[in-house]
Structure 1
Amino acid sequence: MSFRVGLLSSLFVLSATVAAHAGTIGIDIPDSTEKVLIDLPEGWVEALTDEKASGTRRTIIHEYVPDGQTVSDWEEMITVVLTRPEKAPDDEQYVNNAKAMTIKFYRDLCIGHPERMMVPTETRNGYPTALFYMSCIVRPEAKAARPEQVKNLESLIGISMTSQGGWSLQVQRAWHTNKLEDDGKAGLKGPDKKRDEFEAAQAAMMKFAQEEVVICNTADSAKPCTLPVPH
């Protein structure tokens, strides 16, 4: 089983000890009683908050990194994107967003892609939710086009959701490095320590996506603002 095709499948059964967590933080969804809850890892800080508007479309971004890293120099990052589109999201928006993110990731960055794109869906705390899991060795030309942003190995795990108030949401947890690269045999080469860090990061990212992100509603007891995630 190759690294490029098999890695994400193996993550569903990967078990590892993951880092301690600092606690739950809540991000308000504007003009509503809803919030996005995430379990922020211990030692992580908010590095960026930004809001953009174009007509009636609004986009709010929050980015978090381990203390000592920045939005321009990071190895791990959590990004929360809230988008209020010009038209209210339809019933399939959450899963279509996840599929589009997956297709774009492999198309723009990767050497090869999985035979099957995985976008599992569920109802989480009463909200439609789709998950996406992506990881690959980057094409040299893709890295050369954005050398300050793209590394040899890129991994991204995320959650796409739709709020009751008409917002589309994506929460992404990313990890990348220049210290691991393609070994020419469908695997990785690089320091053993960095490969161990990669496996631990993937386990933490998977747990984050599955258990540590939720939309809730402070005015609706059926959608409680609690973690672990109520399913």
Structure 2
Amino acid sequence: MSKILTAAMAALLLGFAPQAHADLKDENLLMPMPTGFSEAYTAQDGGMHMSEFVPDGENVDDWSQMITRQVFQGLRKTDPDMLPKAMQGKWAQACPKGEGQKLTSAQENGYPVSIWMFTCPMNPAANRPETMWLKVISGADAHYLVQYAHRRPVTDKMVVSTMVFLKQVSVCDTRISAQACPAGM
């Protein structure tokens, strides 16, 4: 596992610019979408908005990779480790020998950020290994979670591409110059 964590940490140190978005107002979650992914599910429950994206031709019941975006409106300036810590026990219950661990915490564009990795050697529901990385950003208007999950054995290439993707996930605010959205948005 240390080789995987080393690759993840190296990828986190790389700098990548967020993708351009038009018509931004107030606080915004910026999340690029890898080529070949489509939205497969969306839901709203009160102030929680969730979207799941899978590779073209796959669905939310049978997928090889899944990106999940969750925005908890009104959950302001909370500990970015709060939800991942709550997930740890549930993950271990759902997957024998499964575990969740914090990889790092930082400030990005003035927002507290935490990145976690959850592993499951053999997901009983899918009968495949599953690894999920989670980036949590604590905003002034909302709490933001982006997950990138894979259902196959972990490789260095997977770790690097996932960390590159998560590095591009960010929050910005058109109202605050210190947390401004990238130019041209």
- TM-score, normalised with respect to structure 2: 0.79
Matches within 5 A, 1:1-231: 5-6=1-2, 8-12=4-8, 24=19, 33-53=26-46, 58-84=47-73, 88-89=75-76, 91-92=78-79, 94-111=80-97, 113=99, 117-138=101-122, 143=124, 146=125, 150-165=126-141, 167-177=142-152, 198-209=155-166, 211-226=167-182
- TM-score, normalised with respect to structure 1: 0.65
Alignment length (residue pairs): 177
Instruction: Tell me which of the two structures has the higher relative contact order, counting C-alpha pairs closer than 8 angstroms and 6 or more residues apart.
Output: 2
Percent sequence identity is 23
1:219 positional shift:
2.4
Cα distance in 2 for residues equivalent to 1:50 and 1:28 = 23
Cα distance in 2 for residues equivalent to 1:81 and 1:27 = 20
Against the structure 1 CA distance between its residues 43 and 128, is the aligned structure 2 distance closer, same or farther, given a 3 Å change threshold?
same
Against the structure 1 CA distance between its residues 214 and 27, is the aligned structure 2 distance closer, same or farther, given a 3 Å change threshold?
farther
Contact 2:115 2:133 (C-alpha < 8 Å) held by counterparts? yes
Against the structure 1 CA distance between its residues 174 and 223, is the aligned structure 2 distance closer, same or farther, given a 3 Å change threshold?
same
- Partner secondary structure for residue 12 of structure 1: helix
Contact 2:119 2:131 (C-alpha < 8 Å) held by counterparts? yes
Against the structure 1 CA distance between its residues 34 and 168, is the aligned structure 2 distance closer, same or farther, given a 3 Å change threshold?
same
Bigger CA drift: 99-108 or 156-165? 99-108
CA RMSD of aligned residues (A): 3.0
1:106 positional shift:
3.1
1:155 positional shift:
0.5
Q: Which has the larger radius of gyration?
A: 1
Cα distance in 2 for residues equivalent to 1:131 and 1:28 = 28
Unaligned 5+ segments in structure 1 are: 16-22, 181-194
